[in-house]
Structure 1
Amino acid sequence: MKKAMTMTQKILASHAGLDYVEANQLIKVKLDLVLGNEITTGMAMKELNKLESQSVFDKRKIAIVPDHFTPCKDINSAEQCKIVREFAKINDIENYFEIGEMGIEHVLIPEKGLVIPGDLVVGADSHTCTYGALGAFSTGVGSTDMAIAMASGKAWLKVPEAIKFELTGKLSEWVSGKDLILNIIGKIGVDGALYKSMEFVGDGVKTLSMDARFTIANMAIEAGAKNGIFLIDEKTIEYVKDKTTREFEIVEPDEDAYYSEVYHIDLAKIKLTVAFPHLPENTKEIDVVGDIEIQQVVIGSCTNGRMEDLRIAASILKGNRVKKGMRTIIIPGTQKIYLEAIEEGLIKIFIEAGAIVSTPTCGPCIGGHMGVLGSGERAVSTTNRNFVGRMGHVDSEVYLASPAVAAASAITGKISSPLSVVIK
């Protein structure tokens, strides 16, 4: 009798050339894509130089995206990017994206069609788990593992146990995928899915946009998960069909697949949620937040820098002004999204509201540039982490929220619900 498997097990089994894999089994898998940015690729190159073969296994299956400190903020970052740029040129890396064609890596890679359903992807960045929104297995690895993966096209992985999230219903007005994943992390904690697969299934999945799914899968790592993955449906297929010529298989979990835990979530009951400092699990629903003054708002990142996010922010900021002195920074995830936002008139709305718009970059999310916080300052941010010193000074504070809450907070100068702002 054929043994039942989860989505993650099926993808791992197929890439290991096995009929079946079980939780905690150590397997060697073939990779469809290896990803790095300017920081992690530089470190991986040092390890690659130690290997007998210093060339990459397939120039079409490596992607490098300088996005963390670019456009280069100082001499050190410029030198780092120069080294990585030269490496990409020497190895004729086809999927190298920098200034002018770049984007935040986890927004750009799906946009380019480099990941499709059923793929197995590793990347030297923890938020590589984003691509699970497409029904792929994707996970972050260290730079040493990236070096081995670039050279061999293979990786050793331990098969994770899985947690099922059975979604029903539909999210209420203004409530988004960000609120859902913050709510989940608030319930299970930052280690609640430690080295496990978070599998999102149920009728509620079809009510979630692809942008919402990317946001949710992106933050699976904030619950300690090895990966997050969604059922493949019509929206998934519609998203990828014009982006690739590769054939893909629709992977579904077996009905009797084993899950270590099962959570039933009615999307209609999810409320606007904010993660307080200094952990993503420190969540509160917006109606019990109280008056917390802020000095900065950031809308963007690999979590919430997509078109849906910008449209939501614009719908709240249109006809309004950010509070005097409020530093409001909006960062489209890619050049394509930036251009689309210009064509829709969203950028005009942001500027007229008193915000600034940046070229795609991770900058403020990691306290790198384009919005570093000083001592005692607070920010509402649509990014994914709010650890001590994450966005700047160790005495600063970051409150994680959705684009709707961030935009409303920019107007009022304190953490606010969009329901408290007059939408003009």
Structure 2
Amino acid sequence: MGQTIVEKIVSRQVGRPVIAGEKIERLPITKLFFNDVIGPPAIQGFLENFRDIFEKHNKFPQVFDPKRIFFLPDHSVPAYSVPVAEGIDLMEEFAKPRGIKAYKEGDGIEHVVLIEDGQIVPWDIVLGTDSHTDTNGAMGALAFGVGTTDGFYAMATGHIYDFVVPESNKFELVGRLPKGVYSKDIILYIIGKVGAGGCSKRVAEFTGEGLRGLSMDARTTICNMAVEMSGRTGIMACDDNLTAYLKDRAQWPVEPIDSDPDAVYANTMTVDLSALEPCVAFPHKPANVTPISRVQEMIARSQEAPTSDFCVVESDKITDAFLGACTNGRYEDLVAGAAVLRGNKVHPEVNLIVIPASRKVYERALDEGILEVFIKAGANVESPNCGPCFGSHMGVLSRKARMISSSNRNYQGRMGSPEAQIFLASPATVAASAIEGRIADPRKYLS
């Protein structure tokens, strides 16, 4: 019986064949990263729980491998409060004497920067203190989010404990995307079909000829949202596209990986990319998905049968738009948004915020005149950070706000007031909607 990608990765790490459902008492990891939300308390937990052990042996409290650990301030930067600033200071002070890489404020979002820098490679087992660590699965890595306690124990030992090898659901992508339809539309369509719990505790493995035609930027968007259908993570094979992407940037050895032809999956689903159109997720759940041609029908449904996570939507009008986040703040996302906005203006009653996901993306977009398109259209362009995605700063929503966002979550209160409404869509759809002041089809703006 063949193995899935996940079974292969775990088997290599523990030195014996494993299958889904097995419990691994101590699973070695290869990469570990912390943001400014969990990093400071994880450092404190590490020092409080392991200081006595190190002192007993007269040793400096060192981590398991400083070259495999990273600190990335991204959620609340530039620091908007004294506690945030002091937490970032703590990460820098902890990292420097231990030889750990600590990124600067503005370098970018954790799930983007480490991939850009070639730190994540196939066969990795990656822990990050954020649920969207699954983004790194696009690199052929087993990557998932952990909390503070698992984080500081992993920092000390290099292991995750009591790990159950998850089953995998197979999503086979076939065909090619039509013009004006993007990877965000693919993953929204899938989540809408399987539901918020459709991949619960399993790995979403994306494969197929349609996937091989997608860029790395597009692939990371798909893996990023696997958790929104309750997936343990998302993952993809290492193919020619990934090998080419890593060729001049990989900081670690690159070795191909794919599932065996006879691997066993819990479920399979085929998605014809050629049949897709732009999609929109209605509040308050990423699974409330409709094709853009049926937005008015979705509005009517919300009024007829609202629930706690499918609220009443009165119209397609929007007041705010956000293009950014670890989901869709990469270079190709900015290109797609700028293609729609070029020669147009943001609606006078809409506040459009654009945040490149990393300093490298920001600089490239600046050099190529892409940021100029957004600025001249009337958008607010900010430095790389998570921004309004989780309601921290740089665009917190009022109770009257109706936001269309390229981010990954639209839960009640996610981006500000619990009375605000959040719609999820691709960067192109966000840009088109910002122009019209209503949820709009981007295809009319693309020649």
How far off its partner does 1:28 sit?
2.3
Pairing of 1:44-59 with structure 2 (within 5 A)? 44-48=42-46, 49-51=48-50, 52-53=53-54, 54-59=61-66
CA shift in 2, pair 1:246/1:78, >3 Å: closer
Query: Does 2:402 correspond to 1:403?
Result: no
Percent of paired sites with the same residue: 41
Query: Does 2:250 correspond to 1:244?
Result: yes
> Which ranges in structure 2 are unaligned for 5 or more consecutive residues?
55-60, 297-314
Structure 2 residue matching 1:180: 3-state secondary structure: helix
The one of 248, 252, 264 aligned to 1:258? 264
User: Aligned residue for 1:286?
Assistant: 292
Runs of 4+ aligned residues of structure 1 deviating over 4 Å after TM superposition are none
Q: Name the CA distance, whole Å, in 2 between partners of 1:75 and 1:326.
A: 31
The aligned amino acid for 1:388 is: Q
The one of 109, 112, 115 aligned to 1:110? 115
Query: Does 2:230 correspond to 1:224?
Result: yes
Q: Name the CA distance, whole Å, in 1 between partners of 2:37 and 2:120.
A: 22
Q: Name the CA distance, whole Å, in 2 between partners of 1:99 and 1:252.
A: 36
Structure 2 residue matching 1:163: 3-state secondary structure: strand
Query: Does 2:7 correspond to 1:9?
Result: yes
1:240-287 deviations in whole A, cap 9, x for unaligned? 111125322211111111101010111111221111100100111101
Q: Name the CA distance, whole Å, in 1 between partners of 2:71 and 2:13.
A: 23
Q: Name the CA distance, whole Å, in 2 between partners of 1:121 and 1:418.
A: 36
Q: Name the CA distance, whole Å, in 1 between partners of 2:164 and 2:204.
A: 15
How far off its partner does 1:412 sit?
0.2
User: Aligned residue for 1:41?
Assistant: 39
Question: What's the RMSD between the two structures over aligned residues?
Answer: 1.3
Query: Does 2:275 correspond to 1:269?
Result: yes
Greater shift after overlay, 412-421 or 379-388? 412-421
Greater shift after overlay, 125-134 or 16-25? 16-25
The aligned amino acid for 1:114 is: Q
Could you tell me the TM-score, scaled by structure 1's length?
Answer: 0.96
Q: Name the CA distance, whole Å, in 1 between partners of 2:224 and 2:407.
A: 10
User: Aligned residue for 1:380?
Assistant: 404
How far off its partner does 1:420 sit?
4.0
The one of 417, 425, 428 aligned to 1:393? 417
Structure 1 residue matching 2:290: 3-state secondary structure: strand
1:204-230 deviations in whole A, cap 9, x for unaligned? 111111111000001111111111111
Query: Does 2:301 correspond to 1:295?
Result: no
User: Aligned residue for 2:216?
Assistant: 210
Structure 2 residue matching 1:50: 3-state secondary structure: helix
User: Aligned residue for 1:29?
Assistant: 27
Answer yes or no: is the 8 Å Cα contact 2:170–2:206 preserved in 1.
Answer: yes
Answer yes or no: is the 8 Å Cα contact 2:76–2:385 preserved in 1.
Answer: yes
Answer yes or no: is the 8 Å Cα contact 1:135–1:232 preserved in 2.
Answer: yes
User: Aligned residue for 2:300?
Assistant: none
Structure 1 residue matching 2:66: 3-state secondary structure: coil
User: Aligned residue for 2:185?
Assistant: 179
Q: Name the CA distance, whole Å, in 1 between partners of 2:275 and 2:412.
A: 31
1:336-387 deviations in whole A, cap 9, x for unaligned? 1101001111011111111111100112001011110001211000000011
Query: Does 2:82 correspond to 1:75?
Result: yes
CA shift in 2, pair 1:25/1:187, >3 Å: same
User: Aligned residue for 1:310?
Assistant: 334
Answer yes or no: is the 8 Å Cα contact 2:124–2:142 preserved in 1.
Answer: yes
User: Aligned residue for 1:201?
Assistant: 207
Q: Name the CA distance, whole Å, in 2 between partners of 1:115 and 1:214.
A: 12
Q: Name the CA distance, whole Å, in 2 between partners of 1:21 and 1:168.
A: 28
The aligned amino acid for 2:175 is: G
Q: Name the CA distance, whole Å, in 2 between partners of 1:348 and 1:245.
A: 33
Structure 2 residue matching 1:271: 3-state secondary structure: coil
The aligned amino acid for 1:10 is: K
Structure 2 residue matching 1:419: 3-state secondary structure: helix
Answer yes or no: is the 8 Å Cα contact 1:27–1:159 preserved in 2.
Answer: no
1:101-146 deviations in whole A, cap 9, x for unaligned? x111111010011101111111111001101111111111111101
Answer yes or no: is the 8 Å Cα contact 1:205–1:231 preserved in 2.
Answer: no
